[in-house]
C-alpha cells in the first residue's frame, strides 16, 4: 500500500491513522451529490468505487458525476479504461490506495464513494487478492471436468489442496471453485492464504445513505427515463459503432445490455426500458446484501428527510477526534 502521509504518534506511542470517509448505499440514492457537498464542506476529494464509471464513453448509463459535480470536487478513478479493457479488484485496490494517499499528502480528506460492494469492502478491509492472470485453457479444462464428472468432484479436488477455501465455497459455485484451483495450480499457494486480509492504515468512518424502498424504486424509474432523454440510445449506438460488442463486461451493465438488445432488433424499446427498471431493482437488492442496514460498522442516514446537518456534524466530530 505504500507509505501513508500524515500519520503521527502520540506520546504514549499510540499511532494516529489518517482518516478515510466511505459513502455507500444503493444506486440512485444520491451518493455522488452528497459526497460532492461533503467535499466542499471538508476540503475533500472523491475516490470513486463504481465498477461501471471506470469506462470511458459509458457516461449516461452509468450516471457519472456531472460537469458541475466534477468542477465542485475532484473525482478520481472515473474514465480510466476503455470499454474493451478489464480492471480487476487487485488493480482497483492498488489504484484506490494510491489515490487515497495522494489526497492525504495534499492535506485533504479522501471520500471513498460508490455502490460496488466488493470494491468498497476490498479497500477498507484490505482483502488479499491473488494477482494471478486468467489461464483460459486451464479454466476450459476444469469446466469440462465439471461437466463430465460433476461439480462435486471438482469441489473435492479443491478440498484436497485448500480445505479452508473449499469450506467457504459452495460446490455449485463452479466459477469460484475453478478460480481457487487456478490460483493453486499457477502459484502452488492456496487461495485462502492469498486472501488473508491486512487492514489498511486508515481510520475509517462508513456512512450509508438509504431511503424507503418504494421511494428508491420510483427514483430509479425517473432516472431511467431521464437517461433516455439525455441520449442513452445514441450513446449505446455509438459504442457499438466503435466496435465494442455487447458481450464485453463493460457493455453487460444495466442499460447497455438492454438498449443493445433493442438496437439489435431483439426487443422493443418499451421492453428494454421495462427490463432496465426491473434489473435495477434487483441490483439494489444485491447492494443491500453488501451494505446491510443492520451492519453496526455503517452509520445509516435516511436521505428522504432532513439528514445533512446531522451527517455533517458526525463527520466534523470524527475528523477532530
Which residues face 55 on adjacent strands?
81
Structurally, what CATH architecture does the domain formed by 136-194 represent? Orthogonal Bundle (1.10)
**Fold for the domain defined by 8-128+198-320:** Rossmann fold (3.40.50)
CA dist 104 and 98 (Å) reads: 10
Res 59: pLDDT: 98
Shortest CA distance to 194 belongs to which of 204, 208, 180, 206?
180
CA dist 293 and 170 (Å) reads: 25
Mean pLDDT, consecutive 10-residue stretches, the chain (321 aa), reads 41 80 98 98 98 98 96 98 94 97 98 96 91 87 95 96 93 92 92 86 97 98 97 98 95 96 97 98 95 96 98 98 85
Res 129: pLDDT: 82
DSSP string, 45-63: EEEE--TTTTBTT--TTTT
CA dist 304 and 200 (Å) reads: 33
| Residue extents of the structural domains in the chain | 8-128+198-320, 136-194
Res 130: pLDDT: 80
Distance of CA 245 to the CA centre of its chain: 23
Shortest CA distance to 207 belongs to which of 39, 91, 17, 90?
39
SS3 141: helix
Question: Are 116 and 48 a contacting pair, CB within 8 Å?
Answer: no
Same fold, 8-128+198-320 and 136-194: no
Q: What are phi and psi of 57, to 5 degrees?
A: 90, -15
The residues, any chain, with a CB within 8 Å of residue 180's CB and separated by 6 or more, are: 158, 162, 165, 166, 169, 190, 191
Res 13: pLDDT: 64
> Quick one: what percent of the chain has pLDDT higher than 70?
96
Question: Are 61 and 236 a contacting pair, CB within 8 Å?
Answer: yes
The single-letter DSSP state of residue 175 is H
The residues, any chain, with a CB within 8 Å of residue 54's CB and separated by 6 or more, are: 48, 77, 78, 79, 80, 81, 87
Residue 77 grid cell: 478513478
Shortest CA distance to 115 belongs to which of 278, 290, 305, 307?
290
Which residues face 299 on adjacent strands?
207
Res 256: pLDDT: 98
CA dist 19 and 319 (Å) reads: 7
The residues, any chain, with a CB within 8 Å of residue 297's CB and separated by 6 or more, are: 206
Q: 54-85: per-residue pLDDT in tens? A: 999 999 999 999 999 999 999 999 999 999 99
Amino acid at each position: 500500500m505504500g507509505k501513508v502521509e500524515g500519520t503521527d504518534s502520540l506520546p504514549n506511542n499510540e499511532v494516529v491513522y489518517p482518516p478515510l470517509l466511505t459513502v455507500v448505499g444503493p444506486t440512485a440514492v444520491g451518493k455522488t451529490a452528497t459526497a460532492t457537498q461533503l467535499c466542499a464542506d471538508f476540503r475533500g476529494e472523491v475516490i470513486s468505487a463504481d465498477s461501471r464509471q471506470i469506462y470511458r464513453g459509458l457516461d449516461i448509463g452509468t450516471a457519472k458525476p456531472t460537469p458541475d459535480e466534477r468542477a465542485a470536487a475532484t473525482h478520481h478513478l472515473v474514465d480510466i479504461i476503455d470499454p474493451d479493457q478489464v480492471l480487476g479488484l487487485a488493480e482497483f485496490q492498488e489504484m484506490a490506495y494510491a489515490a487515497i494517499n495522494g489526497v492525504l499528502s495534499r492535506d485533504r480528506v479522501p471520500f471513498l464513494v460508490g455502490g460496488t460492494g466488493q470494491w468498497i469492502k476490498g479497500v477498507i478491509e484490505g482483502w488479499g487478492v491473488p494477482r494471478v492472470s486468467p489461464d483460459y485453457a486451464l479454466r476450459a479444462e476444469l469446466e469440462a471436468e465439471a461437466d463430465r464428472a460433476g461439480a462435486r468432484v471438482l469441489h473435492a479436488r479443491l478440498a484436497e489442496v485448500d480445505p479452508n477455501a473449499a469450506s467457504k465455497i459452495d460446490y455449485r459455485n463452479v466459477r469460484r471453485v475453478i478460480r481457487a484451483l487456478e490460483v493453486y495450480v499457477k502459484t502452488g499457494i492456496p487461495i485462502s492464504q492469498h486472501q488473508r486480509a491486512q487492514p489498511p492504515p486508515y481510520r475509517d468512518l462508513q456512512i450509508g445513505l438509504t431511503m424507503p424502498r418504494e421511494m428508491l424504486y420510483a427514483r430509479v424509474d425517473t432516472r431511467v427515463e431521464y437517461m433516455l432523454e439525455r441520449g442513452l440510445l445514441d450513446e449505446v449506438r455509438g459504442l457499438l459503432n466503435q466496435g465494442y460488442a455487447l458481450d464485453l463486461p463493460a457493455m453487460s451493465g444495466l442499460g447497455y445490455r438492454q438498449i443493445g438488445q433493442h438496437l439489435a432488433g431483439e426487443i422493443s424499446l418499451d421492453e428494454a426500458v421495462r427490463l432496465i427498471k426491473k434489473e435495477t431493482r434487483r441490483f439494489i437488492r444485491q447492494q443491500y446484501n453488501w451494505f446491510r442496514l443492520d451492519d453496526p460498522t455503517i452509520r445509516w442516514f435516511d436521505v428522504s428527510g432532513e439528514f445533512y446537518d446531522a451527517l455533517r456534524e458526525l463527520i466534523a466530530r470524527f475528523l477532530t477526534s
